[in-house]
Amino acid sequence: MENFIFVLLQGRVVAIYIAINIMIFLIITLIIIDQFTKYLAFKHLSTINTYPIIKDIFHFTYVENRGAAFGILQNKRFFFIIITTVVLAGIVYVMYKNSNLKFLTKVSLALIVAGAIGNLIDRVRLHYVIDFFDFRIWPVFNVADINVVIGGVLLCIMVLFFKEELF
């Protein structure tokens, strides 16, 4: 009987370990994609400013964003670094304390973490965030922003409509 319980516990530990590695892999992959696209934006757009993909609808536009969404709180770099660090610590704590989170909950939190780290890297390294997706009727944004928004929307949907599916 003891061997049976040990195997079940060992199987659970192995399953948790694999799930953590998948989330870490997802986060690192998304951060690499974000940083690579920002590098490409800097390299190819910083000298020409904008490149129309669909004229007056969608452009690649190089923007050095020193604020938050919609350009609010300009030049509050340390504020954003502190807030981002606190949010990341909170998410990591929740994920650590709740090893039984459902897959979609983990994915939504991983998306938020990847986006937050992607923009945090820019704020620490460059003192601004590189944005480049420009739909002309919306503020310019980047891959990290997309990750945060998709993760946040997914988490909100789950909290509002599938509370029992969170854990």
Determine whether 41 is exposed, middle or buried from the number of CB atoms within 10 Å of its CB (0-12, 13-18, 19+): buried
- For residue 131, indicate whether it is catalytic: yes
| Beta bridge partner(s), residue 50 | 61
Q: Report the predicted TM-score, pTM, of the whole model to 2 decimal places.
A: 0.85
Catalytic residue among 34, 122, 134, 145: 145
Residue 2 has pLDDT above 70, yes or no: no
Question: Tens digits of per-residue pLDDT, 18-62?
Answer: 667 788 999 999 999 999 999 999 999 999 989 999 999 999 999
72: which 2 tokens? 């609010």
Residue 60 contacts residue 147 (beta carbons within 8 Å): no
Catalytic residue among 34, 122, 131, 134: 131
- For residue 134, indicate whether it is catalytic: no
Task: Report d(CA 167, CA 101) in Å as an integer.
Answer: 4
